């Protein structure tokens, strides 16, 4: 007779606890794969959005095989990350921010960070900032890291990136190395994909500079702490604890730069700040408000607070409904799941179902029977709203861009967003902690599904503007320039 999941997981816990004083072996790492499979099948609402049942069986089998042959934390990270990337969900990944103990030591350790930044432009690795490396400049092309050509590295990085569905623009953006991400994917992935290049404290580069001739150049590798210090030195200090900055342009347009909406733990009153900016735009008769959302992966629904000051009617947010896969978490999984809100373990009457598919309709955050609604509020700003977007916009910023475009409330300038019009997973999370390896995997709990069929894509800008190598060389910002022209027009 088959054993129950409860019995199996109790055995897995005992096995994993027995290995806490020594490195995990193949048997123990297979327990991590089994725990992950049990948790994902029970709780993840988006497994079948882009994968068939046979696809999923294959992904889980590959994960078990990878864990069984893992000989190092790097092998384990690679196996887990390949699996999460195959789910094709932008919120399902081995999250460096949430690692503890062994996982944190792995993602933080070593002198293996590149000092310069780069962008993938038309398949070429183009230097975005030199990071103090003598002999290279913004706009130069990197041809190889050590003896590894960059082409296979681009492919390898994209295969590890967490992105929704067929949105490859997000995969390419995550393969970039700049100051956008707190924990850039290349920091961990490149030393695994090109181990010989990162074996020493200096990285040998093959570079094509402005004269068109390739040459070699050595670049000193950095630690995580050195990388963070260098990144922070390139950022202007925030005023009065504000997470955003505002610039008043000569025509009175207010340009608001918003690198993040993840302000859950901030004491800064961002709502009052935004209202003040709108009031000043009204009083000065500013022709436009420009929101620079590039690099902003989301967080809270900050954009809707501003949007409510521009409406003449209620706006129902994109026509989608929320679903979860469970009402109460299985008790045998609880010990592996951590989160910031214990109510995620028991949705109670907020989860209505199950339906024929096994989903529960999630109603907790609905404004009314129509779903999410933004209502007019306060003095109305009647000028233009322009948002500069890029593929980083994958959560609340993706949904904001979707709302603007679907309702004709603003103009999108720049690059297609991340996320996916077929819906995304997020809203609430468990941090799945795998006891044998020590790694954590982010497990999103709430899926949005559109009521009508949608394309497998992000949100396309109304005014597409690409960055070129020449833009990086000359320090130009073509997306912002296009937004300013649109405001003046």
DSSP states of 229-261 = HHHHHTSPPPSTT-S-EEEE-TTS-EEEE-S-B
| pLDDT per residue as tens digits for the range 294-317 | 999 999 999 999 999 999 999 988
Beta-bridge partners for 346: 328
| Domain match, 259 and 222 both | no
Count: domains in the chain: 2
Instruction: Say how many CA atoms lie within 13 Å of 7 toward its Cβ.
Output: 4
Give the domain CATH number at 128: 2.30.42.10
Cα–Cα distance list, 202 to 105, 144, 208, 247 (Å): 22, 14, 19, 40
pLDDT band at 320 (very low <50, low <70, confident <90, very high): confident
Average pLDDT in the 427-456 region?
97
- State the chain's mean pLDDT as an integer: 93
| pLDDT per residue as tens digits for the range 50-106 | 999 999 999 999 999 999 999 999 999 999 999 999 999 999 999 999 999 999 999
pLDDT band at 489 (very low <50, low <70, confident <90, very high): confident
Domain end (from 207, 233, 259): 233
The span from the CA of 404 to the CA of 55, in Å, is: 35
CB 143 within 8 Å of CB 66? no
**Alpha helix (H) residue ranges in 194-350:** 224-233, 270-283, 302-307
Is residue 257 situated within a structural domain?
A: yes
| Domain match, 304 and 443 both | yes
Residue 5 has pLDDT above 90, yes or no: no
Phi-psi map region of 280: left, alpha, beta (phi>0 left; psi -120 to 50 alpha): alpha
Beta strand pairing call for 384-389 and 411-414: parallel
| Domain match, 223 and 265 both | no
| Domain match, 227 and 261 both | no
Residue matched to tokens 């901030």: 266
Cα–Cα distance list, 406 to 161, 386, 398, 469, 487 (Å): 28, 14, 12, 33, 20
Window from 6-10, 282-286, 376-380 with minimum mean pLDDT: 6-10
196/4: higher pLDDT: 196
Average pLDDT in the 178-196 region?
96
Is residue 29 situated within a structural domain?
A: no
The span from the CA of 77 to the CA of 64, in Å, is: 13
| pLDDT per residue as tens digits for the range 328-369 | 999 999 999 999 999 999 999 999 999 999 999 999 987 666
Residue 447 has pLDDT above 60, yes or no: yes
Domain end (from 183, 198, 233): 233
| Domain match, 266 and 121 both | no
The SS3 call for residue 69 is helix
Is residue 251 situated within a structural domain?
A: yes
| Domain match, 263 and 398 both | yes
Per-residue pLDDT at 238? 64
| Domain match, 477 and 424 both | yes
Burial of 376 (0-12, 13-18, 19+ CB in 10 A): middle
Per-residue pLDDT at 377? 97
Per-residue pLDDT at 9? 43
| Domain match, 326 and 461 both | yes
Residue 22 has pLDDT above 90, yes or no: no
Beta strand pairing call for 254-257 and 288-292: parallel
The span from the CA of 59 to the CA of 61, in Å, is: 5
pLDDT band at 21 (very low <50, low <70, confident <90, very high): very low
Give the domain CATH number at 424: 3.90.226.10
Is residue 93 situated within a structural domain?
A: no
Q: What is the CA radius of gyration of the chain?
A: 23
Residue 2 has pLDDT above 70, yes or no: no
Domain end (from 233, 255, 282): 233
Q: Which long-range contacts (CB under 8 A, 24 or more apart) does 235-242 make?
A: 235/179, 240/268, 241/266, 241/267, 241/268, 242/268, 242/273
The span from the CA of 396 to the CA of 406, in Å, is: 15
Is residue 137 situated within a structural domain?
A: yes
Cα–Cα distance list, 325 to 80, 328, 345, 350 (Å): 22, 9, 12, 12
Residue 170 lies in domain: 111-233
414 prior amide bond cis, ω within 30: no
pLDDT band at 17 (very low <50, low <70, confident <90, very high): very low
The span from the CA of 427 to the CA of 58, in Å, is: 28
CA 218 to chain centre: 31
Does pTM surpass 0.85?
A: yes
Residue 25 has pLDDT above 80, yes or no: yes
Per-residue pLDDT at 375? 96
Is residue 61 situated within a structural domain?
A: no
6/339: higher pLDDT: 339
The SS3 call for residue 175 is helix
Per-residue pLDDT at 370? 67
Is residue 73 situated within a structural domain?
A: no
| pLDDT per residue as tens digits for the range 241-281 | 899 999 999 999 999 999 999 998 899 999 999 999 999 99
Cα–Cα distance list, 435 to 4, 23, 31, 76, 100 (Å): 20, 12, 9, 13, 11
| Domain match, 334 and 449 both | yes
| Domain match, 271 and 225 both | no
| Domain match, 188 and 282 both | no
Per-residue pLDDT at 369? 64
Per-residue pLDDT at 239? 63
CB 396 within 8 Å of CB 301? yes
| Domain match, 277 and 174 both | no
Average pLDDT in the 4-26 region?
46
Is residue 225 situated within a structural domain?
A: yes
């Amino acid at each position: 007779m088959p054993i129950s999941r409860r019995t199996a997981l109790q055995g897995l816990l005992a096995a994993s606890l027995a290995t806490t004083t020594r490195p995990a072996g193949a048997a123990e790492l297979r327990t991590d794969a089994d725990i992950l499979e049990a948790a994902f099948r029970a709780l993840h609402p988006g497994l079948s959005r882009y994968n068939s049942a046979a696809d999923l069986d294959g992904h889980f089998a590959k994960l078990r095989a990878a864990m069984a042959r893992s000989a190092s934390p790097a092998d384990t990270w690679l196996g887990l990350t390949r699996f999460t990337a195959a789910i094709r969900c932008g919120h399902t990944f081995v999250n460096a921010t949430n690692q503890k103990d062994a996982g944190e030591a792995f993602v933080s350790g070593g002198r293996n960070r590149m000092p310069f930044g780069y962008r993938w432009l038309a398949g070429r690795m183009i230097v975005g900032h030199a990071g103090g490396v003598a002999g290279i400049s913004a706009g130069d092309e990197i041809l190889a890291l050590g003896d590894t050509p960059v082409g296979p590295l681009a492919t390898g990085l994209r295969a590890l990136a967490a992105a929704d569905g067929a949105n490859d623009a997000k995969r390419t953006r995550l393969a970039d190395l700049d100051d956008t991400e707190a924990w850039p994917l290349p920091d961990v992935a490149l030393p695994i994909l090109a181990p010989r290049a990162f074996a020493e404290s200096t990285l040998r580069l093959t570079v094509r500079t402005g004269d068109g001739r390739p040459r070699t150049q050595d670049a000193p590798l950095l630690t995580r702490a050195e990388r963070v210090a260098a990144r922070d030195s390139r950022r202007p200090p925030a005023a009065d604890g504000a997470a955003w900055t505002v610039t008043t342009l000569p025509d009175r347009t207010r340009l608001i730069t918003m690198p993040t909406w993840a302000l859950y733990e901030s004491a800064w009153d961002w709502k009052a700040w935004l209202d003040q900016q709108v009031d000043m735009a009204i009083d000065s008769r500013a022709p436009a408000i420009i929101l620079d959302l590039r690099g902003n992966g989301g967080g809270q629904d900050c954009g809707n607070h501003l949007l409510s000051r521009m409406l003449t009617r209620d706006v129902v947010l994109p026509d989608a409904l929320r679903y979860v896969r469970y009402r109460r978490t299985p008790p045998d999984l609880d010990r592996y799941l951590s989160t910031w809100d214990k109510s995620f373990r028991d949705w109670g009457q907020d989860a209505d179902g199950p339906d024929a598919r096994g989903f529960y309709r999630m109603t907790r955050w609905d404004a009314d029977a129509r779903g999410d609604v933004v209502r007019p509020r306060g003095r109305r700003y009647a000028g233009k709203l322009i948002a500069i977007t890029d593929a980083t916009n994958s959560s609340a910023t993706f949904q904001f861009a979707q709302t603007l475009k679907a309702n004709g409330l603003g103009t999108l300038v720049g690059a297609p967003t991340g996320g996916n019009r077929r819906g995304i997973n997020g809203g609430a999370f468990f941090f799945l902690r795998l006891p044998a390896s020590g790694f954590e995997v982010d497990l999103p709990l709430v899926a949005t599904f559109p009521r009508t069929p949608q394309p497998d894509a992000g949100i396309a800008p109304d005014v597409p503007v690409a960055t070129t190598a020449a833009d990086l060389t000359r320090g130009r910002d073509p997306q912002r320039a296009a937004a300013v022209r649109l405001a003046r027009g």
